[in-house]
């Protein structure tokens, strides 16, 4: 059975493809899931892709990833990146490696986006490459 990579997506990411395409691109979350699943097969991995607008779901899923021996978690926490001590604590509490993912580069945007609680706890960050950020993070996850 291939190892599983959880791909967790936070608030408003269900609107990808519609929401500010000049920042986030035209790909939908389903498009990204398809690309990840195709590449994961080549890497002998499975993808478990989820999205929620609720912080507690993301915390629960981080715990679940560890309980299910996931190889890694790719986490695009959306705006929770900059506000969630709960996600910071959850990432620190689990042994499963977490890779922070962003479509845009938060450091080139508004000042409040320059602080990442997720990034302070994550193993690494991939940001600024649009939908490709997810594939680059998957490549990293496959090698850890």
The pLDDT score that the predictor gives to residue 16 is: 84
Q: What is the CATH number of domain 3-143?
A: 3.40.50.9100
The pLDDT score that the predictor gives to residue 21 is: 62
Cβ neighbours of residue 39 closer than 8 Å, sequence gap 6 or more: 135, 138, 139
**Residue 24 falls in the annotated catalytic set:** yes
What are φ and ψ of residue 62, in 5° steps?
-65, -45
**Residue 88 falls in the annotated catalytic set:** no
**What whole-number distance in Å separates Cα of residue 46 and Cα of residue 14?**
21
Strand pairing partners for 48? 6
- Report the side by side order of strands in the sheet with 45-51: 45-51, 3-9, 72-76, 98-102, 124-127
Say which of 6, 88, 102, 117 is annotated catalytic.
102
Taking the model in full, what pTM does it have? 0.94
The pLDDT score that the predictor gives to residue 24 is: 67
Say which of 6, 24, 88, 117 is annotated catalytic.
24
**What whole-number distance in Å separates Cα of residue 138 and Cα of residue 26?**
20
pLDDT per residue as tens, the chain (144 positions): 899 999 999 999 998 887 766 766 789 999 999 999 999 999 999 999 999 999 999 999 999 999 999 999 999 999 999 999 999 999 999 999 999 999 988 776 777 667 899 999 999 999 999 999 999 999 999 999
């Amino acid at each position: 059975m291939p190892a599983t990579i959880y791909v967790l997506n936070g608030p408003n990411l269900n609107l990808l493809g519609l929401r500010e395409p000049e920042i986030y691109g035209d790909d939908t979350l389903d498009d990204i899931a398809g690309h990840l699943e195709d590449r994961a097969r080549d890497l002998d991995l499975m993808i478990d892709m989820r999205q929620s607008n609720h912080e507690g779901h993301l915390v629960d899923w981080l715990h679940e990833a560890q309980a299910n021996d996931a190889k890694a978690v790719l986490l695009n926490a959306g705006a929770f990146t900059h506000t969630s001590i709960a996600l910071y604590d959850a990432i620190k509490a689990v042994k499963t490696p977490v890779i922070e993912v962003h479509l845009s580069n938060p450091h080139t945007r508004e000042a409040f986006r320059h602080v990442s609680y997720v990034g302070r706890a994550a193993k690494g960050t991939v940001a600024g490459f649009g939908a490709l950020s997810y594939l680059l993070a998957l490549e990293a996850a496959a090698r850890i």
